[in-house]
Amino acid sequence: MQHIHDPNPLPPSPDANMTVHLPDSARRRIGPAYLRALESVTVPDCYIISTGHGTSGPFAFSGVRLLDLVDLHWAGSWSLVEALSADGFGARATRAELTASTARPILLAYARDGQPLSRADGLVRLIVPDETDDALRQVKWVAHVRIGADR
């Protein structure tokens, strides 16, 4: 039987804000305006690749380095970060991966080609610029960022 995967055409939640979950169980609510007030990075030549739905791009995505967001909210040790959509889809990045990706950093993107992302486009989405095959780590409609402590 053929696998059919339909992209999520509508946001899973009307709430555009996200929750940053810290290793000490504290939570902080932030939104797109908060992200836009932080230092922005633009990474050119990024693609959106949806399994079974082709490739679009290249795009220049702008947003906040995921590493910078972690550093702003947590000064202690940590080992990984998860970005999750309100519909439960998510991706992980390790500390080593985030600190190594300086030329093409992993972003919480809020703009594509200089234009703000619409709610339908994800409003805030996790972009992993060096991912070029299945885009299994690109998360649309980020609702949660979980910072995992060292074990």
pTM of the prediction? 0.87
Low-confidence stretches of the chain (pLDDT < 70) are 1-14, 50-53, 132-135, 150-151
Burial (CB count within 10 angstroms: exposed 0-12, middle 13-18, buried 19+), residue 131: middle
Q: Where are the beta strands (DSSP E) in 66-123?
A: 80-85, 90-94, 107-112, 115-116
pLDDT at 2: 34
Q: Is the Cα dihedral 51, 104, 15, 20 positive or negative?
A: positive
pLDDT at 72: 96
Domains of the chain: 18-148 (3.90.420.10)
pLDDT at 1: 33
d(CA 137, CA 90): 7
